[in-house]
């Protein structure tokens, strides 16, 4: 049997759809706002990832080294459908005797 406090916490989380936010979160600065890019370490079109090296300043003069990994998420079916339904502006980038892109 759950304790009353635990049950109440679960009920509150269910009411908020599991999203519990505080005022402190609203005042937090974006973590990449002080990022200064130094180099691209690796870029992969196939994996849809990029590794970036840079410095992050936290408002003071202290700068810390940072590596950021960005990865593109997979396409969503509804997004793909809307892209194809609209009148997209297409541009030929590559053409050879086998296929054209």
pLDDT at 67: 94
Walking along the chain (101 residues) 10 residues at a time, the average pLDDT comes out as 54 53 58 87 95 84 87 88 78 75 55
Q: Which residues, including other chains, have CB under 8 Å from residue 7's CB and lie 6 or more apart?
A: none
pLDDT at position 72: 92
Residue 15, classed as helix, strand or coil, is helix
Residue pair 101/94 in contact by the 8 Å Cβ criterion: yes
Write down the CATH number for the domain with range 28-87.
3.30.200.40
- Which pLDDT score is estimated for 70? 95
pLDDT the model gives residue 53: 96
- DSSP states along 22-72: -HHHHTPPPTTTTEEEEEEEEEETTTTEEEEEEEEE-SSS-EEEEEEEEEP
Q: Where are the domains of the chain?
A: 28-87
Task: Give this prediction's pTM.
Answer: 0.50
The confidence score (pLDDT) of residue 28 equals 65
């Amino acid at each position: 049997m759950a304790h009353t406090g635990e049950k109440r916490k679960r009920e509150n989380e269910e009411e908020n759809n599991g999203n519990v936010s505080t005022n402190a979160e609203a005042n937090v600065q974006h973590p990449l706002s002080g990022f200064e890019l130094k180099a691209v370490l690796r870029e992969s079109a196939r994996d849809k990832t990029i590794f970036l090296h840079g410095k992050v300043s936290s408002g003071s003069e202290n700068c810390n080294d940072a590596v950021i990994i960005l990865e593109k998420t997979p396409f969503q079916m509804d997004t793909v459908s809307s892209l194809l339904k609209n009148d997209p502006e297409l541009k030929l980038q590559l053409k050879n005797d086998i296929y054209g892109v």
